[in-house]
Amino acid sequence: LGRDGHTAPSERIVMGQIGSGDHGSGWNMDRMFANEDQQVLAVCDVDSNHLAHAETKVNKHYSSKLGSDYRCKAYSDFRDLVNDKDIDAVHVGTPDHWHVIAALAALKAGKHVICEKPLSLTLSEGRILADVAKQSGKVFQTASENRSIESYIRMVELVKAGVFGEIKHVKILLPPSNRHRQAVDPTLGKPPSGLDYEMWQGQATEMPYCESRVHYNFRWHLAYSGGVITDWGAHMIDLAHWATGNELTGPVEIEGKGEFPPRDGIWNTATSFKVNYRYPSGLTTELFTDAPGLKFEGTNGWILSRGWRGPVKSNRPELLETVLPEEKRLRRPRTDGQGGEHMDFSDAIKEGRQAYAPAEIGHRTISVAHLGNIAMQLGRRLRWDPDQEKFADGDAAATAMLRREQREPWTIDNVDSWINVG
């Protein structure tokens, strides 16, 4: 499957994509095309329109480069894609409730994985994924593109180097929540032909089809996602953890308030919220709806970026010009402008190292958002042991919210049985 159409050149990573919707067949597909080390050979989607669109896009791209007989494989069941022996690595671009199960299946079938944020639907499934990824020996990348954006890398390295003194408090700003991307029908109805709605629902509780809950808007129902706190928290908490050295731990106290629509509404994730956290070191953070951004408050001044990839500012602007010694500078991943998460993923595979945001880091990041959602829903302060990943004092109500009953057959327990061995 190389340039001559026969064998895969050993230096090229053959990619399959599970979930070729908006972000999958748009941003991610284009990033994979731009990466000379990758070649897309298969796509998979439960929506036949999305599948056909992605297949056509792949064939069009490679037929001009590799010959007009290039044929992208199109699967409607991700289990067939992960069992395809021609595939080396998988991009998971499904809605959030499918991330862990699809990624686990790919890892267990021996593929490297780059998985969309937010990494998990629940904290307990995230822990399982992080452990399996570690044991697999495969490269795992949480698709955290912020780690390859120059303004964020610079902000993080200045904070890490102590230019702003000891960081005492971090403000993590997330955008307002629950909005339609496009006009969609909020009435319940029959799924359109061409959509395998049974599989789309996956592990989530069975619910009637509603156009306002699929495509972009799955984000606003707790059955499929966690709302803005997971959708955008995945980006911003990741940076806060990275800069403050908390990537492999978590908060010890969580307290928050959110405004939730009725639980049985079309959407039920918090529309606005404010959650406060305390870390083992004494660092405090607060997460609230505003505009995406971050502010690190240290004993030597503050540094802020407001707006996604917004300009970096400080009350001590001269400190932004600090020249750091080489050993304090962070590595810049290779990037095609943006999309360094894909470049770093393929470089990690080739160099035999881990990617910049392995599953453990992605899991710890999104655990903060999950804990915030639990605290908001219970409406009281929670105490958490980040080493054991357990609530202190055996808090039964909070503990019950760390996991979900998964709907058969789309359970983690069934993943092994889907993998063709040998």
Ligand X SMILES: NC(=O)C1=CN([C@@H]2O[C@H](COP(=O)(O)OP(=O)(O)OC[C@H]3O[C@@H](n4cnc5c(N)ncnc54)[C@H](OP(=O)(O)O)[C@@H]3O)[C@@H](O)[C@H]2O)C=CC1
Q: Which residues bind ligand X (CB under 6 A)?
A: 18-24, 44-47, 50, 78, 93-96, 98, 116-117, 143, 145, 195, 199-200, 202, 214-216, 231
Instruction: Kindly give the pairing relationship between strand 253-259 and strand 382-385.
Output: antiparallel
Question: Nearer Cβ to ligand X, position 194 or 379?
Answer: 194
Shorter beta-carbon distance to ligand X: residue 185 or 393: 185
Residue closer to ligand X (CB basis): 88 or 96: 96
Task: Tell me how far, at minimum, the Cβ of 368 lies from ligand X, in Å.
Answer: 16
C-alpha to C-alpha distance for 98 and 82, rounded to whole angstroms: 14
Q: How far is the CB of 396 from ligand X (least distance, A)?
A: 30
Amino acid present at 210? C
Closer CB to ligand X, 19 or 358, in the complex: 19
Distance from the Cα of residue 407 to its chain's centroid: 22
Least distance from ligand X to the Cβ atom of residue 395, Å = 29
DSSP symbols for 99-115? HHHHHHHHHHTT-EEEE
Per this entry, what is the length of the chain? 422
User: C-beta of 279: minimal distance to ligand X in Å?
Assistant: 25
Which residue's Cβ lies closest to ligand X?
21
Question: Contact at 8 Å (CB) between 213 and 421?
Answer: no
Cβ at position 62, least distance to ligand X in Å: 21
State both tokens at 107. Answer: 């890892």
Are 44 and 78 in contact by the 8 Å Cβ rule? The answer is yes
Residues 6+ positions from 135 with CB-CB distance below 8 Å? none
CB of 290 to ligand X, least distance (A): 18
Q: Residue 301 belongs to what H/E stretch?
A: strand 301-306
CB of 251 or CB of 292, closer to ligand X: 292
- Closer to ligand X by Cβ: residue 98 or 260: 98
Tokens of 138: 């495969």
For residues 363 and 136, give the distance between their C-alpha atoms in angstroms, rounded to a whole number. Answer: 16
